[in-house]
Amino acid sequence: MMKGKAVIKTVLNCDHCKECETCGLKFKTEMLKIKGVRMYELDDKAMTFTVYYNPKKTDLQTIKEAISKLGYDADEVKADPTGYEKLDNCCKV
């Protein structure tokens, strides 16, 4: 079975995103809702998402766009303004 793994750079503007009620919870639910994503790890120090996915069900661009819709940068895909607006104030610049 094919497995995809990608490390995607992001920008986190607060130091507690993983623990944050809204952001942390949002990552947990929304990241796993992306079709084909099996698992992910958020490294808030390195500011990277490591995403494990099924390349038959999704591709990197789709994953990056889904992260963007959550309000976060994903490599060259900038955060979607609508998603960004929904973030807690502590997570905005």
Give the tens place of pLDDT for each residue, 16-70.
Answer: 766 777 677 777 788 889 999 999 998 888 999 999 999 999 999 999 999 999 9
Nearest one of 84, 87, 68 to 76, comparing CA atoms? 68
Domains of the chain: 4-91 (3.30.70.100)
Rounded to two decimals, the pTM is: 0.87
Nearest one of 66, 24, 76 to 51, comparing CA atoms? 66
The dihedrals phi and psi of 40, each to the nearest 5 degrees, come to -150, 155
pLDDT band at 2; cut points 50, 70, 90? low
Distance CA 20, CA 16 (A): 6
